[in-house]
Amino acid sequence: MAEDTATSGVSGEEPAPQPPDVNFAEYFHEARPRTLRHRARVRSTVRRRSVAQDGPASGENPVYVSWLLAQSMLGHADELARQFSGQGSMWQNPFASPGPRHAVETASVWFTAYPISLITRPGVSFLGALGDEELWQAFETIGIEGVHTGPVKRAGGLSGWQPTPSVDGHFDRISNEIDPVFGTEDEFRGMCATATWHGGTIIDDVVPGHTGKGPDFRLAELAYGDYPGIYHMVEIEPADWGTLPDVPPGRDSVNLDAATEEALEKAGYIVGRLQRVIFFREGVKETNWSVTGEVTGVDGVVRRWVYLHYFKDGQPSVNWLDPTFAGMRMVMGDALHSLADLGSGALRLDANGFLGVEKSAGGMPGWSEGHPLSEAANHLIASMVRKVGGFTFQELNLTVDDIKVTSEAGADLSYDFINRPAYHHALATSDTEFLRLTLRTALDLGVDPASLVHALQNHDELTYELVHWTAGHATELFAFRGEEITGGELADTIRRDLCDHLAGPDVPYNLIFTTNGIACTTATVIAASLGITALDDITPDDVDRIRRVHLLLVMFNAFQPGVFALSGWDLLGMLTLPPEQVSDLLASGDTRWISRPAHDLMGHSPGADRSSAGMPRGRSLYGPLPDQLTDETSFARQMQAILAVRKHSGVATARQIDVPDVAHRGLLVMVHALDDGRTQATVLNFADEHVDAAVRSDHFEPGSQVVDLFSGETVGTVDDLNGFRVDMTPFRATAVVLEAPPVEDGA
């Protein structure tokens, strides 16, 4: 984006200000209107064929094969793609370069939904509820401009003719159809229309890294057509079946142990060991590879396949560099269906950092993270989305360096995994040192905060993997707490601090999630930081304190450039579920289910004790939105004021120029250059104590008036040391703008 230029007068000895650099899109499309997101752009909806179920579920039964083909994502994608070929509409939008600020201007405040946790009116589907006029009136009042639905298409798998449930919250997609448990395609289109009427945008999901074990995977097992090319799957010769484990009765695959993985690598079948095993669990998932049982193909040949899955064994990984390019065709078709048929305006790219895998030499793990193929694939997906008028965001918990590289030609926005664990750490320890380090690291490495989605809670755990410090910079030295320590030591320290303060015996309502993070809600992070040991003991005074800190976290995420995102769990102040209420879901070791309580945004079903999907209802500290909007002191009303000032000031599309040192360890200052040339500062106190704060930055011009953005009052003047003072009560946040001093006559 454009470099900062001076707004004051220029002397004869100074170089003239240079015009800002603009990219192709900005030059030729500087005033392009916002797309009417709900308007379908396909000539006709592709109708899926209905094929009766008859006979055995095997490759030797043509009826079964036809039934699979009628439901397959690849087949649907091929039919849909033909409607776009040769059309002038495919050349009306710039697509080569990401446009983070255009995405932010389209929708800068997002509500992130989780379908199975939303309680609706009796008989109303999830999509019907999200398209409700009353809900969108509330969203518009608060300042929410975009809704990320979460995955709503069919997911899970097939066992013969029978569907099997999702193994990962509907991220194991098996069809482009909307899952009836969430609603219908017409309800999705209606939701998009309602959102557009209220100035909003719907954000859907595409899953480029894997599918479930649905029709496409079963056709691949049957060696039908291009389908094996969708996946990283390898046919094992019968002579080598002796090295493979047996598949137990009732299972269709079994995970390989490390010894078998190594044997197959040496035999030239697979890449072998990768950089890490996500969801590692002894006896369940010890490697990223699983093997099928014996499968009779459409040609009558009996085969056994070994396939890659970065995540669970029900999520076979997509191969982005097979000669058939079947995986690419399938994913692109899914994206076009969401954007051009259903009417969404943007897509989240899920787990898109794992789209390339390559064998390494010398016994080293295979190259599977930060691979150039992932970058190329992301570029292709994001470019296709931009070609049809949408934008994309990605969730990549990678090093800051890798996030910088992947964002150069890929997704328009990236999830802020850089600062998310850091602001939780600042709250837990009343010390912003690590948060200042992460903010500065992003700036130093060229990651624009305006390209990030700064979020409160989402459907996952509080992630503290800290990959930047444990992977790419593990041996590099960093200054922290008065000494030089390695990145690996820094990550260990932060992880230990988070676990000590936010989980453990004294905080039984938050649970550790494997090695990735902590299962919690924003409200229970705050409760733990405030020293609350039992959720049942929370008093009305405690609720007031939790709300105050919650608004501090809103200010941190909202009063910097980029998108601000929050969930229903945040809007209602939800607490975690008691583990015994979801014991069956926790049996697999996935503790995140306690942080996904069912909640009723609009208070339409006060008597419901669970969502239609079966999630138990959790406890809300703030109450439903209609009640909050009648109370000027409520969380929603106070956040509304914050978001209104944010929008008026233009901080969402500003440039972050400084994260200065502070005189008190609980303080954080972020300095931004606004589009109108003024300097803005966000000041936050993460400590539970009063601070008379001295705020200084080389970007503050002496003599400037310090104006409070909320009250409009002048609250100080920048002194000759480039600073001003502000009174910061516990957990207070404020935002000011600096008005340049008047030019004296004759100057």
Burial state string for 661-687 with b = 16 or more CB within 10 A and e = fewer than 16:
ebebbbbbbbbbbbeeebbbbbbbbbb
Q: SS3 of 450, please? A: helix
**Partners of 155 in beta bridges:** 173
Q: What is the pLDDT of residue 41?
A: 60
Has residue 401 got a pLDDT over 50? yes
Has residue 8 got a pLDDT over 80? no
Contact by Cβ (8 Å): 139, 487: no
Q: What is the mean pLDDT of the chain?
A: 91
Contact by Cβ (8 Å): 354, 259: no
Contact by Cβ (8 Å): 368, 287: no
**Partners of 52 in beta bridges:** none
Q: What is the pLDDT of residue 691?
A: 96
What is the residue type of 14? Answer: E
Distance CA 382, CA 245 (A): 40
Q: Six-digit token pair at 21?
A: 């650099």
Percent composition of the chain: helix, strand, coil (DSSP 3-state, to 5): 35, 20, 45
Q: What is the pLDDT of residue 20?
A: 42
What is the residue type of 344? Answer: S
What is the arithmetic mean of pLDDT over 498-523?
94
Distance CA 106, CA 103 (A): 5
Q: What is the pLDDT of residue 91?
A: 86
Q: What is the pLDDT of residue 276?
A: 87
Has residue 10 got a pLDDT over 60? no
For 64, half-sphere exposure in the C-beta direction (CA atoms, 13 angstrom radius) is: 19
Higher pLDDT, 315 or 90: 315
Give 15's pLDDT tier (boundaries 50, 70, 90).
Answer: very low
What is the arithmetic mean of pLDDT over 298-307?
97
Give 47's pLDDT tier (boundaries 50, 70, 90).
Answer: low
Smallest CA-to-CA distance from 562 within 414, 687, 419 is with 414
Contact by Cβ (8 Å): 655, 448: yes
Q: What is the pLDDT of residue 46?
A: 63
**Partners of 513 in beta bridges:** 517
Q: What is the pLDDT of residue 589?
A: 85
Has residue 386 got a pLDDT over 90? yes
- Nearest 5 degrees, angle CA 582-CA 587-CA 589? 105
Distance CA 687, CA 548 (A): 12
Contact by Cβ (8 Å): 409, 98: yes
Distance CA 729, CA 692 (A): 8
Q: What is the pLDDT of residue 476?
A: 96
Q: Which helix (H) or strand (E) holds 146?
A: strand 146-148
What is the arithmetic mean of pLDDT over 219-246?
97
256 to each of 156, 259, 273, 710, how far by Cα in Å?
21, 8, 11, 59
Has residue 212 got a pLDDT over 60? yes
Positive or negative, the CA dihedral 122, 124, 129, 133 is negative
Contact by Cβ (8 Å): 269, 259: no
Has residue 481 got a pLDDT over 80? yes
Cα Rg for the chain, rounded, in angstroms?
Answer: 26
Of 28-37, 195-204, 495-504, minimum mean pLDDT range: 28-37
What would the pLDDT profile of 658-696 be if each residue is shown by its tens digit? 999 999 999 999 999 999 999 999 999 999 999 999 999
Contact by Cβ (8 Å): 309, 253: no
Give the contacts of 422 (CB within 8 A, at least 6 positions apart): 434, 435, 437, 438, 439, 494
Q: Six-digit token pair at 681?
A: 């500062």
Q: What is the pLDDT of residue 168?
A: 86
What would the pLDDT profile of 152-202 be if each residue is shown by its tens digit? 999 999 999 999 999 888 899 999 999 999 999 999 999 999 999 999 999
What would the pLDDT profile of 681-737 be if each residue is shown by its tens digit? 999 999 999 999 999 999 999 999 999 999 999 999 999 999 999 999 999 999 999
Alpha-helical runs (H) found in 277-419: 326-336, 372-387, 400-409
Q: What is the 3-state secondary structure (H, E, C) of 649-683?
A: HCHHHCEEEECCCCCCCCEEEEEEECCCCCEEEEE
The share of the chain scoring above pLDDT 70, in percent, equals: 93
Q: Six-digit token pair at 260?
A: 């078998």
What is the residue type of 555? Answer: M
What is the arithmetic mean of pLDDT over 57-86?
93
What is the arithmetic mean of pLDDT over 528-540?
97
What would the pLDDT profile of 19-30 be if each residue is shown by its tens digit? 444 444 444 444
Q: Six-digit token pair at 685?
A: 């106190």
37 to each of 191, 336, 344, 546, how far by Cα in Å?
10, 13, 6, 37
Q: What is the pLDDT of residue 746?
A: 55
Contact by Cβ (8 Å): 425, 553: no
What is the arithmetic mean of pLDDT over 466-490?
94
Q: What is the pLDDT of residue 370?
A: 78
Give 33's pLDDT tier (boundaries 50, 70, 90).
Answer: very low
Q: What is the pLDDT of residue 88?
A: 84
Q: What is the pLDDT of residue 515?
A: 79
Give the contacts of 58 (CB within 8 A, at least 6 positions apart): 64, 296
Higher pLDDT, 672 or 406: 672
Contact by Cβ (8 Å): 374, 355: yes
* Chain centroid offset of residue 79 CA: 30
Higher pLDDT, 746 or 313: 313
**Partners of 118 in beta bridges:** 599
What is the residue type of 360? Answer: S
Q: What is the pLDDT of residue 677?
A: 95
Q: What is the pLDDT of residue 35?
A: 42
Q: What is the pLDDT of residue 11?
A: 34
Smallest CA-to-CA distance from 498 within 450, 461, 447 is with 461
Q: What is the pLDDT of residue 169?
A: 80
500-503 own/partner pairs: CB under 8 Å, 24+ apart: 501/428, 501/429, 501/528, 501/529, 502/424, 502/428, 502/462, 502/528, 502/529, 503/528
Of 213-222, 284-293, 425-434, 587-596, minimum mean pLDDT range: 587-596
Q: What is the pLDDT of residue 235?
A: 98
Contact by Cβ (8 Å): 550, 526: yes
Q: What is the pLDDT of residue 9?
A: 34
